[in-house]
């Protein structure tokens, strides 16, 4: 067994994966044959399942070309992951792993929606949609009075899309921790060092970089660092603090972008 | 243009429509730009027709006739005795001018390059340097299909905004309309950055077209949907939000104040299936151009052009809101449509102060070349 990064992401070497939660291959399905403004691409992402599985190992069985995205996802959600890659992806794995080592630990999950989960399949689909809609939540065992919204996910969820829309409406867009403009395939996560520093993770599930991503964060921050995989870019553009929020652009968002922020 | 920082956070709803609040989405407009006091020629429209402007069989446009039409239109609009004086009413050598063409139906229907070339010629005559002129459109594939470069000085800029479809890189992140129509995640439509940061003036060059969602597409829709990102979401469903969205976008500063002149290219038009030309027979030849500073007045007249042609072709009225016409995809049947058309967007825009809708108050001058 080869320790790769802070012992949380391990390259699969025939070790026992019994009990590990098997994850989907991170990817995006473009629905090119559906010509309408609502035909948003479908993102296969696992952040919700990683969050739902604290203390459990997760397992990625990846096809060729899948290593970098999976590693980014595992890192952004603090996964205890075992990653099986195609042999051709060894270099890509090493490259992303080096990038993650530079970043250091993601830190504890942040979220202003407190979620209790009955563990059902339907609840899982609800979590998946919250995740896909960049509604940033954290799992709790019971109601949290400090959260902006407390919700239960359970088997009563018939339509996950409607469920996520309902959560969004109840929270209101003004209270959302993160808004992503300019892409339907970039999912965001927010972690913290427990003090005044926050870390924004932007994972681009699409096959191409996104030119001109705009981010809005609730709260006033200053940017302390920018790290973009396979990019020397170290600054954000068009930064502004206004109306209780922080906004900036990334001229080009690659596969994984990490923005370190400090409370203003 | 004054740039004193201020924000418009209000929901845009004109007094005339204040009681119909259920039909008006909650728009939040954010801009630091203030309106310019320039008034132009309210409620005035000049229409110039020439039977020899375009050959119906070959669709070849006659440059000399177009030149005469533009000369007549501009002098009549301004009351000036020469074309040079007329153009100087709008433009100075220091201006950076954006020419907002319409290429959404290109290469079959677009702001014709002969028309655009003559506009460029007039700007150059005023003293505007070619490097300060930008022919622009949102999508590169559509723009490039017209090949404007063959018709104009090579130093004139030809600029496509979205070099990759959906990218907001070339839009102004601080000038936008925010609205949630149907639960979409990206709720912002941002203004083209060149408009807010570079251009001092804009010439709007739409066509005369039917539009499946908006009813017709002329000045207002070309300037609105052609200058903002993420606008197709307004017609994601059969009941669209085009009625209120078009005027809301067109009234945003600095776009509204910088759009000083509209030259509507109606040499060729589309009476069904717009903004595209789905079939040859949906094209027609009004052989006219309209000139004005009042987008609402020009579009009000456009409704009649399209409506009369549709009537002659025994097609449904653009005002028909019956559901039996609705189908789920584009159709070459002129009595079927994906959407309930919203030609009422023009009257709505009038309520936002964008111009005169009352046909009895529009001063139309008509000329024949």
Task: Mark the ranges of chain B whose per-residue pLDDT is less than 50.
Answer: 1-21
β-pair type (A27-29, A21-22):
unpaired
Please tell me the distance from the alpha carbon of residue B64 to that of residue B81, in angstroms, as a whole number: 19
CB half-sphere exposure, B101, CA atoms < 13 A: 35
CB half-sphere exposure, B341, CA atoms < 13 A: 26
Label residue A32 by pLDDT band (50, 70, 90).
low
Label residue A30 by pLDDT band (50, 70, 90).
confident
**Exposure string over A7-42, b if 16+ CB within 10 A, otherwise e:** ebbbbbeeeeeeebbebeebbbeeeeeeeebeebbe
Chain A residues with CB under 8 Å of a chain B CB are: 35-38, 40, 133-134, 165, 168, 173, 180-184, 208, 210-214, 238, 240, 247, 249, 251
Domains present along chain B, CATH in parentheses: 15-325+344-368 (3.40.50.11440)
Token digits of residue A252 = 């080009």
Please tell me the distance from the alpha carbon of residue B230 to that of residue A172, in angstroms, as a whole number: 21
Please tell me the distance from the alpha carbon of residue B120 to that of residue B128, in angstroms, as a whole number: 9
Please tell me the distance from the alpha carbon of residue B151 to that of residue B159, in angstroms, as a whole number: 15
Label residue A16 by pLDDT band (50, 70, 90).
confident
Q: Do B184 and A36 touch (CB under 8 A)?
A: no
Quote helix, strand, coil % in chain B, to nearest 5: 30, 20, 45
Q: Do B167 and A211 touch (CB under 8 A)?
A: yes
Question: Cα angle at A229 between A225 and A235, to 5 degrees?
Answer: 35
Closest CA to B48 of B65, B68, B71, B73: B73
Measure CB to CB from residue A182 to each of B186, B237, B329 and give the nearest one. Answer: B186
Q: How far is CA B119 from CA A88, A222, B204, in A?
A: 57, 47, 11
Q: Do A182 and B166 touch (CB under 8 A)?
A: yes
CA distance B212 to chain A (A): 14
Please tell me the distance from the alpha carbon of residue A176 to that of residue A136, in angstroms, as a whole number: 8
- Give the pLDDT score at A70: 97
- Give the pLDDT score at A195: 81
Closest CA to A177 of A152, A151, A149: A149
pLDDT at A66 > cutoff 80: yes
> Is the link from the previous residue into B107 a cis peptide, with omega within 30 of 0?
yes
Measure CB to CB from residue A249 to each of B166, B173, B236 and give the nearest one. Answer: B173
Measure CB to CB from residue A37 to each of B164, B173, B236 and give the nearest one. Answer: B236
DSSP per-residue letters across A71-127: HHHHHHTT-EEEEE--GGGHHHHHHHHHHHHHH----SB--SEEEEE---HHHHHHH
Residue B54, SS3 per DSSP: strand
Q: Do B236 and A36 touch (CB under 8 A)?
A: yes
The answer to whether B204 touches A220, Cβ cutoff 8 Å, is no
B265, B269, B275, B276: CA torsion to nearest 10:
-120
DSSP-H helix ranges across A22-86: 47-51, 67-76
- Give the pLDDT score at B192: 98
Q: Please report which helix (H) or strand (E) contains residue B223, including its range.
A: helix B219-225
Residue of A nearest to B184 (CA): A38
Contacts of A214 in chain B (CB under 8 A): 168, 173, 188, 190
Label residue A31 by pLDDT band (50, 70, 90).
low
Instruction: Count CB neighbours of A149 within 10 A.
Output: 18
Measure CB to CB from residue A181 to each of B164, B188, B237 and give the nearest one. Answer: B188
- Give the pLDDT score at A39: 61
Mean pLDDT of the region A50-72: 95
Q: Do A37 and B232 touch (CB under 8 A)?
A: yes
- Give the pLDDT score at B23: 74
Question: Cα angle at B134 between A240 and B35, to 5 degrees?
Answer: 50
Q: Do B185 and A38 touch (CB under 8 A)?
A: no
Residue of B nearest to A162 (CA): B183
Query: Locate tokens 């209790």: which residue?
Result: A116
CB pairs under 8 A between A and B: 55
CA distance A139 to chain B (A): 23
Contacts of A36 in chain B (CB under 8 A): 236
The answer to whether A234 touches A226, Cβ cutoff 8 Å, is yes
Chain B residues with CB under 8 Å of a chain A CB are: 163-164, 166-171, 173-174, 180, 182-188, 190, 232-237, 329
- Give the pLDDT score at B265: 98
- Give the pLDDT score at B37: 78
Label residue A196 by pLDDT band (50, 70, 90).
confident
Q: Do A182 and B168 touch (CB under 8 A)?
A: yes
Please tell me the distance from the alpha carbon of residue B301 to that of residue A188, in angstroms, as a whole number: 48
The alpha carbon of residue B156 and the mean position of all alpha carbons in its chain are separated, in whole angstroms, by 21
CA distance A47 to chain B (A): 18
- Give the pLDDT score at A24: 97
Q: What is the ipTM of this complex?
A: 0.90
Mutate which of B183, B192, B230, B232 to test chain A, going by most A C-beta atoms within 10 A? B183
Q: Do A165 and B183 touch (CB under 8 A)?
A: yes
């Amino acid at each position: 067994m080869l320790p790769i990064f802070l012992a949380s992401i391990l390259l699969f070497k025939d070790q026992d994966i019994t009990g590990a939660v098997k994850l989907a291959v991170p990817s995006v399905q473009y629905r090119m044959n559906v010509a309408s403004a609502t035909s948003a691409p479908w993102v296969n992402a696992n952040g919700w399942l990683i969050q739902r599985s604290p203390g459990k190992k997760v397992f990625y069985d990846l096809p060729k070309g899948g290593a970098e995205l999976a590693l980014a996802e595992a890192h952004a959600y603090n996964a205890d992951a075992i990653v099986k890659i195609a042999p051709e992806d060894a270099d890509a794995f090493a490259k992303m792993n080096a990038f993650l080592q530079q970043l250091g630990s993601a830190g504890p999950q942040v979220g202003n929606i407190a979620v209790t989960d009955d563990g059902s399949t339907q609840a899982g689909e609800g979590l998946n949609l919250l995740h896909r809609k960049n509604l940033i939540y954290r799992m709790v065992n019971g109601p949290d009075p400090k959260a902006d919204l407390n919700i239960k996910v359970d088997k009563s969820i018939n339509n996950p899309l409607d469920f996520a829309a309902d959560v969004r409406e109840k929270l209101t867009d003004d209270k959302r921790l993160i808004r992503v403009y300019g892409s339907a395939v970039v999912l965001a996560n927010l972690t913290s060092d427990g003090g005044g520093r926050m870390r924004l993770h932007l994972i681009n599930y699409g096959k191409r970089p996104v030119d001109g991503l705009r981010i809005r964060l609730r709260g006033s921050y200053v940017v302390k660092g920018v790290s973009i995989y396979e990019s020397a870019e170290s600054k954000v553009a068009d930064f502004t603090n206004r109306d209780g929020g922080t906004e900036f652009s990334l001229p080009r968002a690659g596969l994984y972008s990490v923005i370190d922020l400090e409370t203003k | 243009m004054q740039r004193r920082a201020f924000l418009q956070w209000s929901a845009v709803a004109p007094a005339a429509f204040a009681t119909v609040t259920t039909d008006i989405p909650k728009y939040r407009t954010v801009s630091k730009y203030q309106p310019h006091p320039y008034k132009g020629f309210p409620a005035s429209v000049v229409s110039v027709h020439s039977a020899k402007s375009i050959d119906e069989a070959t669709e070849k446009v006659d440059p000399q006739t177009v030149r005469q039409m533009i000369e007549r239109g501009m002098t009549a609009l301004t009351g000036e005795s020469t074309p040079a004086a007329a153009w100087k009413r709008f433009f100075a050598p220091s201006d950076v001018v954006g020419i907002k063409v319409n290429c959404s139906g290109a290469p079959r229907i677009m702001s014709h390059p002969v028309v655009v070339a003559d506009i460029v010629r007039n700007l150059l005559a005023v003293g505007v340097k070619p490097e300060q002129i930008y022919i622009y459109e949102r999508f590169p594939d559509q723009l490039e299909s017209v090949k404007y470069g063959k018709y104009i000085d090579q130093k004139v800029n030809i600029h496509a905004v979205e070099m990759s479809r959906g990218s907001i890189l070339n839009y102004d992140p601080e000038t936008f309309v925010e609205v949630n129509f149907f639960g979409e995640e990206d709720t912002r439509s941002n203004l083209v950055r060149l408009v807010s940061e570079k251009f001092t003036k804009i010439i709007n060059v739409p066509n005369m077209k039917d539009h499946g969602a908006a009813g017709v597409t002329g000045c207002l829709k070309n300037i609105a949907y052609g200058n903002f990102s993420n606008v197709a979401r307004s017609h994601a469903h059969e009941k669209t939000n085009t009625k209120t969205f078009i005027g809301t976008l067109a009234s945003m500063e600095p776009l509204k104040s910088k759009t000083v002149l509209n030259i509507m290219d109606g040499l060729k038009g589309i009476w069904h299936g717009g903004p595209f030309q789905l079939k040859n027979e949906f094209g027609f030849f009004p052989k006219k151009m309209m000139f004005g500073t009042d987008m609402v007045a020009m579009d009000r007249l456009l409704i009649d052009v399209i409506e009369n042609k549709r009537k002659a072709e025994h097609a449904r009225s653009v005002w028909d809101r019956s559901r039996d016409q609705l189908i789920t995809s584009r159709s070459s049947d002129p009595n079927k449509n994906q959407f309930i058309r919203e030609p009422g967007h023009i009257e709505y825009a009038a309520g936002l102060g964008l111009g005169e809708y009352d046909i009895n108050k529009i001063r139309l001058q008509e000329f024949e070349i």
